[in-house]
Amino acid sequence: MRQAEYKIEEMSHRRLRVLSIASAYPSPPIGGTRILIYHQLLEMARHHDVDLIAVDCPTGSNCDLKGLDACASVRLVDLAESERQWTVLERIRWSSTSAPFFMYQRYSPRAQDLVDELLARYDYDVVIAEDNEAGLYVRSRHSPPKVLTKHSILSVQREQLATIAMSSARRCVDHLYAQLLRRHERREAALFDMVKLPTEADRREWQRIVGSHHDPLVVTNGVDTEYFAYEERTGPVTHLIYTASFGAVPNVDAARLLVDEIYPRIVHAAGELPLYIVGKSPPDELRERGRRMGVTVTGTVAEVRPFFAGKPIATIPLRVASGIINKVLEPMAMGVAVVASPFAVEGLQTDPANVCLIANTPDEFARAVAMLQVDPELYRRLTHAAHDYVVTQHSWPALMSKYRQAVETVATGTWRVSATSLARCPERARQTSTAPIEGGAGVPSPDIPFNRS
């Protein structure tokens, strides 16, 4: 079934009033989810009046308020302070009627109150939940229209995690969580007027879960090709690199696999090549594994690009993945050869074999690295093709323009909504009020950091 159609038209006649909700403040844009939220917000704020509510920016932390000064207003909620109001019993009560209880680990009642108050007082044209967790704050099926950006389909990820679970008990828990998440995703499909996903593969999975009559918008991720600038690589291969944030279980699993099973085979097949595992929050056991194998596990770094100097190979053995993986796009943009698992590259909008080497097993990873080491023409051909692909298919301006125009059609009622969705959401009446509230647009709240352009 083809993707839902939407009008491609500029809304020059007026600016929309938009309420955006994010589960984390996205500036500076570090990490896959924050990068995408940042670009979505920036695109909308350049053309419309965006009020942003962002959770999980601790008071006094390095949240760059200037990064999104195009927004009409920015309200930040310290999750650590808000969590003290949120009890286990409340999570269970909420999960009985809405999302699974484990999704509320980073939920803020304070942010919920702020969302509800703004929606009651102001006539928004559209509400945007910028990520999976932000969708928890959108509760009413009535107006204004609602958009949900899903960076991944959580039930699919949970089923993938079950395949790598280290115990039968963990596997059973993952299957149970996946079932609860599928129920929640069906609610999301009924609640939101438009759901945005990053790949066609995700679209097919979404329709399998919620029904083919729910046709999501597909807009892939971008990469900043000026920041991750291309460089012609010459000479011998210098090292291997894997970049990730290790707060996510799939990234830790991939790093363990790389250190324990893949790297020894690479050393045997291709000789000694330094391996750098770069990213924040690596667990102690991963650091210990690295020490035993002579692998450098850096932890948090101020800048990742220096680790791509020379002629490296990006090794990406993800066994659980969804959407477009930035750790694939960024090395491609810089002219670095990539060896990746099928999961890591399934969201690419081209045949992955044209732009990287695919490896399913540790032995295949070792052979692929050895091939790139001895065949500089293969390295050159793959990196040129990969860079051309990224430039043409993952340009932030083009992708975000498509996203913005789709949101505009939702706000103006021209997005094609299924008959089933309309039956479930019959009312589009706007709640209109101009009564001022504390922390409202143009009225800085004394206890919430505020910014207005």
Tell me the pLDDT tens digit for each residue of 378-402.
Answer: 999 999 999 999 999 999 999 999 9
**CA–CA dist 319, 199 (Å, integer):** 18
In three-state secondary structure terms, 356 is coil
How confident is residue 189, by pLDDT bands cut at 50, 70 and 90? very high
pLDDT above 60 (res 442) = no
Q: Which CATH superfamily is domain 239-393 in?
A: Glycogen Phosphorylase B; (3.40.50.2000)
Note the pLDDT of residue 260: 96
DSSP at 3: P
- The whole-number average pLDDT for the span 210-229 is 93
Residue 235, both tokens? 């000479």
Cβ-in-10-Å burial (0-12, 13-18, 19+) of 97 comes to exposed
How confident is residue 283, by pLDDT bands cut at 50, 70 and 90? very high
pLDDT above 50 (res 255) = yes
Domain map of the chain by residue range? 17-222+396-447, 239-393
Cβ-in-10-Å burial (0-12, 13-18, 19+) of 397 comes to exposed
Q: Do domains 17-222+396-447 and 239-393 have the same CATH topology?
A: yes
Note the pLDDT of residue 28: 79
**CA–CA dist 130, 54 (Å, integer):** 10
Range list of H helices, 192-227: 200-210
Cis peptide before 436 (omega within 30 of 0): no
**CA–CA dist 134, 112 (Å, integer):** 10
Identify which of 171, 128, 163, 162 has the alpha carbon closest to the alpha carbon of residue 147: 128
Q: In percent, how much of the chain has pLDDT > 90?
A: 67
Around Cβ 259, how many Cβ atoms within 10 Å?
22
More confidently predicted of 68 and 112: 112
CA angle 343, 148, 44 (to 5 degrees): 105
Note the pLDDT of residue 66: 66
In three-state secondary structure terms, 51 is strand
Least confident of 198-202, 327-331, 394-398, 424-428: 424-428
C-alpha dihedral sign at 296, 300, 306, 312: positive
Q: What is the dihedral of CA 273, 274, 279, 283, to 10 degrees?
A: 100
Pairing mode of beta strands 450-451, 73-77: antiparallel
C-alpha dihedral sign at 264, 266, 271, 276: negative
How confident is residue 277, by pLDDT bands cut at 50, 70 and 90? very high
DSSP at 261: I
pLDDT above 90 (res 48) = yes
pLDDT above 50 (res 433) = no
Contacts 24+ apart (CB under 8 A), 272-275: 273/237, 273/238, 273/239, 273/240, 273/369, 273/373, 274/238, 274/239, 274/240, 275/239, 275/240, 275/241, 275/242, 275/315
Query: If residue 149 lies in a helix (H) or strand (E), which one and from where to where?
Result: strand 146-149
Note the pLDDT of residue 237: 97
Least confident of 34-38, 76-80, 367-371, 442-446: 442-446
pLDDT tens-digit map of 104-144: 877 888 899 999 999 999 999 999 999 999 999 998 777 79
Least confident of 80-84, 100-104, 163-167: 80-84
pLDDT above 70 (res 51) = yes
Helices vs strands, H then E, count in the chain: 16, 14
Identify which of 101, 79, 76, 103 has the alpha carbon closest to the alpha carbon of residue 90: 101
Identify which of 18, 27, 23 has the alpha carbon closest to the alpha carbon of residue 50: 18
Note the pLDDT of residue 89: 58
Cβ-in-10-Å burial (0-12, 13-18, 19+) of 128 comes to buried
| First CA to last CA distance, the chain | 43
Average confidence score pLDDT of the chain? 84
pLDDT above 50 (res 170) = yes
Note the pLDDT of residue 400: 95
User: What per-residue string of b and e applies to 241-255 under the rule 16 or more CB within 10 Å gives b?
Assistant: bbbbbbebebbbbbb
The correct answer on CATH 3.40.50.2000 for the domain covering 17-222+396-447 is yes
Identify which of 154, 344, 153 has the alpha carbon closest to the alpha carbon of residue 243: 344
Q: In percent, how much of the chain has pLDDT > 70?
A: 82
Could you give the C-alpha distances from 80 to 92, 114, 433, in angstroms and in order?
20, 16, 32
Note the pLDDT of residue 72: 93
- The whole-number average pLDDT for the span 182-205 is 94
